Amino acid sequence: MKVEIEKLTIASARAGLRAREFSATELTEAAIAVMEAARPLNAMITETPERARAMAAESDRRLTRGEAGPLEGIPIAIKDLFCTDGVQTTAGSRILKGFIPPYESTVSANLWRAGAVMLGKANLDEFAMGSSNETSHFGRVENPWRRADGKPLVPGGSSGGSAAAVAAGFCLGATGTDTGGSIRQPASFTGIVGIKPTYGRCSRWGIVAFASSLDQAGPMTRTVRDAAIMLGAMASVDEKDSTSVDRPVPDYEAAMTGDVRGLRIGIPKEYRVDGMPAEIEALWRQGIDWLRSAGAEIVDVSLPHTGYALPAYYIVAPAEASSNLARYDGVRFGLRVPGNSLPDMYAKTRGEGFGAEVRRRILIGTYVLSAGYYDAYYVKAQQVRTLILRDFERAWERVDAILTPTAPSAAFGIGEKSDDPISMYLNDVFTVPVNLAGLPGISVPAGLSREGLPLGLQLIGRAFDEETLFRVGGVLEEAAGFSARPQTWWKG
């Protein structure tokens, strides 16, 4: 049977597989065909069709025996920041080109155990540093969506390949990672759902580290229900990550009751930033109306330190990155450029292996950690981080979740911001406070811009209360009725 994977979701494919309407092999063949047709998007760094076929055959055996896991036979893409045993893992960097890990990340291992099928490794900004997927050594990713003028747009970043893969329709879900917005902002730019769980919900083991105190893995999917299903499979405590938390993984799908009556939704006034486009403001107001009509109580809240989140993030994240990236020295992983001494080899390898954005972060990071500046920058940023966390804690006394826009704009043009790091960093204004506070945040597609591009709304929740985000997110999704799909221009 010919399967139209572009029209499926994880939930509907699960039903189709169990009812034997199609097999995992048929679904995977459809995914591979659409993936190959979508190559102009450059969403994938490595395609693994043979592995996908073998995994699908295993899924079919388990489906026949009635032993199906929660994601049995579901084709997914893995952001190329997750180590995959025997499959090249690059982090989008030249310095890791050709690195084949002898181990599997905990999150991807959990997904395979749940029955998912690996289509390949998705493109990303180098070491997950970026908001546009333009910093990848393996070339930029193009957004499946275009404006009427047909100019190529960025898919957002850093999980831009994952977002494009889901939006283009060749996988039903993809893993992302989010250090300052890298799941939620690309989800918003491509009209899909993305959730960054609470820090500690998913194991970071086997994920190439960017900023260890901020990094979290999460799912990117077409629907809120699919995100709930996929997160349930990804999350776990892990003895190999001491920051993963030993709490039972709830049935996230069951949390989607469709009922938000009596829930209190906070609207933080500090997110009404200067220069926010009118259409973003209007969408936010629309979201407030939808939730109010559904019976939620809307409460104005204040998060007074919001304005300091971005500067604090761009100190803490580069500081941790500069330390994490010290391990790429040409000795153990990937690229080695010979030199006439050991320090010369280090310098040449790192100089040629890292791209401009990564070098910029290392310079900022080593600067803010250096003697004499450590107290002025790094310690100060950590203090600001505590204040941001306290802002949220105070808000949770009055509300159950917070509603904001996900990003200050729709997808922008390729090349439009790449020479202006500050304007690129401003993309993260609504997402970074959530990482600094370690909280969960979800982006739900809620409408289209004047130019016909997707826009997302973000819900922020209490630590380990992803259930409320799925519950409210499901109601928001239903009210928005977002059904637009990108034109498949890449099919020629």
Binding site for ligand GLN (CB under 6 A): 128-131, 158, 178-182, 210, 317, 428
By C-beta, is 314 or 328 nearer to ligand GLN?
314
- Measure the CA–CA gap between 37 and 349, rounded to whole angstroms: 36
User: At closest approach, how far in Å is the CB of 125 from ligand GLN?
Assistant: 7
User: At closest approach, how far in Å is the CB of 108 from ligand GLN?
Assistant: 18
Classify residue 150 as exposed, middle or buried by CB count within 10 Å of its CB (0-12, 13-18, 19+): exposed
- Measure the CA–CA gap between 236 and 220, rounded to whole angstroms: 18
User: At closest approach, how far in Å is the CB of 81 from ligand GLN?
Assistant: 9
User: At closest approach, how far in Å is the CB of 274 from ligand GLN?
Assistant: 20
By C-beta, is 180 or 461 nearer to ligand GLN?
180
By C-beta, is 26 or 178 nearer to ligand GLN?
178
By C-beta, is 210 or 333 nearer to ligand GLN?
210
User: At closest approach, how far in Å is the CB of 228 from ligand GLN?
Assistant: 22
- Measure the CA–CA gap between 410 and 68, rounded to whole angstroms: 39
With contact defined as beta carbons under 8 Å apart, do 476 and 256 qualify? no
By C-beta, is 317 or 388 nearer to ligand GLN?
317
Tell me the two tokens of residue 137.
Answer: 């050594």
- Half-sphere exposure (Cβ direction) of 440: Cα atoms closer than 13 Å: 27
Active-site annotation, residues:
79, 158, 182
Residue 4, phi then psi, degrees to nearest 5: -95, 85
User: At closest approach, how far in Å is the CB of 178 from ligand GLN?
Assistant: 5
With contact defined as beta carbons under 8 Å apart, do 209 and 215 qualify? yes
By C-beta, is 375 or 419 nearer to ligand GLN?
419
Largest CA distance in the chain: 70
Classify residue 356 as exposed, middle or buried by CB count within 10 Å of its CB (0-12, 13-18, 19+): exposed
Report the length, in residues, of the chain: 492
| Dihedral sign from CA coordinates of 54, 121, 412, 149 | negative
- Measure the CA–CA gap between 211 and 318, rounded to whole angstroms: 7
Closest CA to 192 of 207, 174, 178: 174
Evaluate the omega torsion of the peptide bond into residue 131 and state whether it is cis, within 30 degrees of 0: no
Closest CA to 199 of 389, 469, 463: 463
- Residue that is written with structure tokens 């109306």 in the block: 289
Q: Which one-letter DSSP state was computed for residue 284?
A: H
By C-beta, is 165 or 301 nearer to ligand GLN?
165
User: At closest approach, how far in Å is the CB of 107 from ligand GLN?
Assistant: 15
